[in-house]
Homo-oligomer: A and B are copies of this chain.
Amino acid sequence: MELKKIFPDLYEENLRNVIEQEGTVVHLEQGEMLMDIGGFIKFVPLVLEGSLKIMREDKDGHELLLYYVKAGETCAMSLTCCMGDAQSNVRAVAEEPTTLIAIPVRYMDLWTNQYQSWKSFVMHTYQKRFEELLETIDGIAFQKLDDRLEKVLKSRVDMAGSNHLVVTHQELASELNSSREVISRILKQMEKRGMVKLGRNKLDVLF
Protein backbone atom coordinates (compact mmCIF):
# COMPACT_ATOMS: atom_id res chain seq x y z
CA MET A 1 0.00 0.00 0.00
CA GLU A 2 1.09 3.56 -0.55
CA LEU A 3 0.67 4.42 3.11
CA LYS A 4 4.31 5.39 3.37
CA LYS A 5 4.04 7.86 0.51
CA ILE A 6 0.78 9.45 1.63
CA PHE A 7 1.58 9.59 5.35
CA PRO A 8 5.35 10.10 5.42
CA ASP A 9 5.20 11.30 9.04
CA LEU A 10 4.14 7.84 10.22
CA TYR A 11 7.72 6.72 9.89
CA GLU A 12 7.57 3.64 12.13
CA GLU A 13 7.27 0.56 9.95
CA ASN A 14 5.57 -1.42 12.70
CA LEU A 15 2.93 1.25 12.97
CA ARG A 16 2.25 1.19 9.24
CA ASN A 17 1.95 -2.55 9.44
CA VAL A 18 -0.66 -2.49 12.21
CA ILE A 19 -2.56 0.21 10.36
CA GLU A 20 -2.78 -1.99 7.29
CA GLN A 21 -3.64 -4.96 9.43
CA GLU A 22 -6.34 -3.42 11.63
CA GLY A 23 -7.69 -0.77 9.28
CA THR A 24 -10.38 -1.24 6.67
CA VAL A 25 -10.15 0.45 3.32
CA VAL A 26 -13.36 2.32 2.54
CA HIS A 27 -14.38 3.97 -0.66
CA LEU A 28 -16.85 6.85 -0.76
CA GLU A 29 -18.65 8.22 -3.79
CA GLN A 30 -18.80 11.95 -4.23
CA GLY A 31 -21.39 13.43 -1.88
CA GLU A 32 -21.59 10.31 0.27
CA MET A 33 -21.84 10.99 3.98
CA LEU A 34 -19.25 9.34 6.20
CA MET A 35 -20.50 10.69 9.50
CA ASP A 36 -23.47 12.77 10.58
CA ILE A 37 -23.94 15.05 13.57
CA GLY A 38 -24.89 13.00 16.59
CA GLY A 39 -23.59 9.83 14.98
CA PHE A 40 -21.38 7.48 16.97
CA ILE A 41 -17.74 7.53 16.06
CA LYS A 42 -16.42 4.00 15.80
CA PHE A 43 -13.31 4.63 13.72
CA VAL A 44 -10.83 7.27 12.72
CA PRO A 45 -10.50 7.97 8.98
CA LEU A 46 -7.05 8.26 7.38
CA VAL A 47 -7.69 9.80 3.98
CA LEU A 48 -5.68 8.16 1.19
CA GLU A 49 -7.23 9.88 -1.78
CA GLY A 50 -9.88 12.53 -2.37
CA SER A 51 -11.15 14.74 0.43
CA LEU A 52 -13.77 15.06 3.14
CA LYS A 53 -15.73 18.20 3.85
CA ILE A 54 -16.27 18.78 7.57
CA MET A 55 -19.24 20.93 8.44
CA ARG A 56 -21.41 22.19 11.21
CA GLU A 57 -25.18 22.64 11.18
CA ASP A 58 -27.57 24.66 13.32
CA LYS A 59 -31.02 23.64 14.47
CA ASP A 60 -32.69 25.15 11.39
CA GLY A 61 -30.55 23.13 9.02
CA HIS A 62 -28.17 25.93 8.08
CA GLU A 63 -24.77 24.55 7.23
CA LEU A 64 -21.30 25.96 7.57
CA LEU A 65 -18.02 24.64 6.20
CA LEU A 66 -15.36 24.14 8.85
CA TYR A 67 -12.48 22.66 6.88
CA TYR A 68 -11.43 19.99 4.42
CA VAL A 69 -9.61 16.77 5.29
CA LYS A 70 -7.33 15.95 2.38
CA ALA A 71 -5.15 12.98 1.47
CA GLY A 72 -2.53 12.37 4.16
CA GLU A 73 -4.73 13.89 6.87
CA THR A 74 -7.28 12.83 9.43
CA CYS A 75 -10.22 14.39 11.25
CA ALA A 76 -9.43 15.91 14.63
CA MET A 77 -12.96 15.47 15.90
CA SER A 78 -12.74 11.72 15.58
CA LEU A 79 -9.51 11.64 17.58
CA THR A 80 -11.24 12.93 20.68
CA CYS A 81 -13.61 10.01 20.74
CA CYS A 82 -11.21 7.69 22.54
CA MET A 83 -12.14 9.61 25.65
CA GLY A 84 -15.65 10.03 26.91
CA ASP A 85 -18.53 10.59 24.57
CA ALA A 86 -18.12 9.22 21.10
CA GLN A 87 -20.78 11.30 19.42
CA SER A 88 -19.80 13.48 16.54
CA ASN A 89 -20.55 17.17 16.64
CA VAL A 90 -19.82 17.65 12.96
CA ARG A 91 -20.81 16.17 9.62
CA ALA A 92 -18.31 14.62 7.20
CA VAL A 93 -19.16 14.31 3.52
CA ALA A 94 -16.97 13.16 0.62
CA GLU A 95 -16.26 16.21 -1.49
CA GLU A 96 -15.06 13.98 -4.35
CA PRO A 97 -14.62 10.22 -4.78
CA THR A 98 -12.59 9.37 -1.72
CA THR A 99 -10.61 6.43 -0.37
CA LEU A 100 -9.69 6.12 3.28
CA ILE A 101 -8.52 3.66 5.91
CA ALA A 102 -10.89 3.31 8.83
CA ILE A 103 -9.11 2.62 12.12
CA PRO A 104 -11.23 1.31 15.02
CA VAL A 105 -11.07 3.87 17.81
CA ARG A 106 -9.92 1.34 20.39
CA TYR A 107 -6.39 1.58 19.00
CA MET A 108 -6.12 5.33 19.45
CA ASP A 109 -5.00 5.40 23.03
CA LEU A 110 -2.81 2.35 22.66
CA TRP A 111 -0.94 3.63 19.65
CA THR A 112 -0.24 7.06 21.12
CA ASN A 113 1.64 5.22 23.84
CA GLN A 114 3.30 2.72 21.57
CA TYR A 115 4.28 4.74 18.53
CA GLN A 116 5.98 8.09 18.86
CA SER A 117 5.14 9.02 15.27
CA TRP A 118 1.46 8.29 15.81
CA LYS A 119 1.41 10.49 18.88
CA SER A 120 3.05 13.32 17.07
CA PHE A 121 0.74 12.84 14.10
CA VAL A 122 -2.26 13.18 16.42
CA MET A 123 -0.81 16.26 18.09
CA HIS A 124 -0.04 17.90 14.77
CA THR A 125 -3.54 17.18 13.60
CA TYR A 126 -4.96 18.89 16.67
CA GLN A 127 -2.78 21.89 16.16
CA LYS A 128 -3.63 22.18 12.48
CA ARG A 129 -7.37 21.88 12.99
CA PHE A 130 -7.23 24.34 15.81
CA GLU A 131 -5.64 26.88 13.55
CA GLU A 132 -8.17 26.20 10.84
CA LEU A 133 -11.05 26.67 13.25
CA LEU A 134 -9.53 29.96 14.33
CA GLU A 135 -9.31 31.04 10.70
CA THR A 136 -12.90 30.03 10.18
CA ILE A 137 -13.85 32.13 13.20
CA ASP A 138 -11.88 35.07 11.85
CA GLY A 139 -13.68 34.70 8.58
CA ILE A 140 -17.16 34.72 10.04
CA ALA A 141 -16.49 37.36 12.66
CA PHE A 142 -14.30 39.81 10.83
CA GLN A 143 -14.60 39.34 7.10
CA LYS A 144 -17.31 40.21 4.67
CA LEU A 145 -19.04 37.69 2.53
CA ASP A 146 -17.19 38.56 -0.68
CA ASP A 147 -13.81 37.97 0.96
CA ARG A 148 -15.00 34.69 2.38
CA LEU A 149 -16.36 33.58 -0.99
CA GLU A 150 -13.03 34.39 -2.64
CA LYS A 151 -11.28 32.27 -0.05
CA VAL A 152 -13.59 29.31 -0.61
CA LEU A 153 -13.07 29.54 -4.37
CA LYS A 154 -9.29 29.68 -3.94
CA SER A 155 -9.30 26.66 -1.70
CA ARG A 156 -11.44 24.74 -4.18
CA VAL A 157 -9.07 25.63 -6.99
CA ASP A 158 -6.18 24.32 -4.88
CA MET A 159 -7.97 21.08 -4.20
CA ALA A 160 -9.12 20.52 -7.75
CA GLY A 161 -5.73 21.51 -9.11
CA SER A 162 -7.57 23.44 -11.80
CA ASN A 163 -9.16 26.85 -12.30
CA HIS A 164 -12.24 25.14 -13.59
CA LEU A 165 -14.69 24.39 -10.81
CA VAL A 166 -17.77 22.22 -11.07
CA VAL A 167 -20.07 23.65 -8.44
CA THR A 168 -23.45 25.34 -8.11
CA HIS A 169 -24.17 28.64 -6.41
CA GLN A 170 -26.32 26.76 -3.93
CA GLU A 171 -23.41 24.59 -2.80
CA LEU A 172 -21.23 27.63 -2.20
CA ALA A 173 -24.06 29.32 -0.34
CA SER A 174 -24.42 26.34 1.98
CA GLU A 175 -20.73 26.26 2.80
CA LEU A 176 -20.85 29.90 3.77
CA ASN A 177 -24.18 29.67 5.56
CA SER A 178 -25.65 32.20 3.16
CA SER A 179 -28.37 32.10 0.53
CA ARG A 180 -28.16 31.28 -3.13
CA GLU A 181 -29.36 34.69 -4.30
CA VAL A 182 -26.68 36.49 -2.34
CA ILE A 183 -23.93 34.28 -3.73
CA SER A 184 -25.26 34.73 -7.28
CA ARG A 185 -25.23 38.47 -6.68
CA ILE A 186 -21.64 38.51 -5.49
CA LEU A 187 -20.46 36.14 -8.23
CA LYS A 188 -22.03 38.44 -10.82
CA GLN A 189 -20.13 41.39 -9.39
CA MET A 190 -16.93 39.34 -9.47
CA GLU A 191 -17.58 38.46 -13.10
CA LYS A 192 -17.99 42.14 -13.97
CA ARG A 193 -14.63 42.79 -12.34
CA GLY A 194 -13.14 39.98 -14.44
CA MET A 195 -12.38 37.75 -11.47
CA VAL A 196 -14.44 34.77 -12.61
CA LYS A 197 -16.24 33.43 -15.65
CA LEU A 198 -19.64 31.96 -14.88
CA GLY A 199 -21.39 29.01 -16.46
CA ARG A 200 -24.10 26.56 -15.60
CA ASN A 201 -22.89 24.17 -12.89
CA LYS A 202 -19.37 25.48 -13.31
CA LEU A 203 -17.20 28.54 -13.09
CA ASP A 204 -13.66 29.51 -13.99
CA VAL A 205 -11.56 31.32 -11.43
CA LEU A 206 -9.34 33.97 -13.00
CA PHE A 207 -7.57 35.47 -10.00
Q: Does A170 belong to the interface (CB within 8 Å)?
A: no
Q: What residues on B are CB-neighbors of A133 within 8 Å? A: 130, 133-134, 137
What string of 1s and 0s marks CB contacts (under 8 Å) between A125-157 and chain B?
A: 011011101101110111000000000000000
In the bound assembly, the distance between CA atoms of A134 and B91 in angstroms comes to: 13
Nearest CB of chain B from residue A53's CB, rounded to whole Å: 15
Q: How far is the CA of A141 from the CA of B113 in the complex (A)?
A: 38
Segment from A28-36, A58-66, A195-203 that makes contact with B = A58-66
Complex: A120 Cα to B124 Cα, angstroms: 16
Whether, in the assembled complex, A1 has its beta carbon less than 8 Å from a beta carbon of chain B, the answer is no
Cα of A130 to Cα of B134 in the assembled complex, Å: 10
Is there contact, CB below 8 Å, between A64 and B141? Answer: yes
Contacts A84-B127, A140-B140, A140-B141; A56 near B134 (Cβ below 8 A)? yes
Show the binding face of A for B, using Cβ within 8 Å.
56, 58, 60, 62, 64, 66, 76-77, 80, 82-84, 89-90, 112-113, 119-120, 123-124, 126-127, 129-131, 133-134, 136-138, 140-142, 177
Report the 10 A-B pairs with minimum CB-CB distance, sorted nearest first: A58-B142, A80-B127, A140-B140, A133-B133, A64-B141, A126-B126, A140-B141, A141-B177, A83-B123, A137-B137
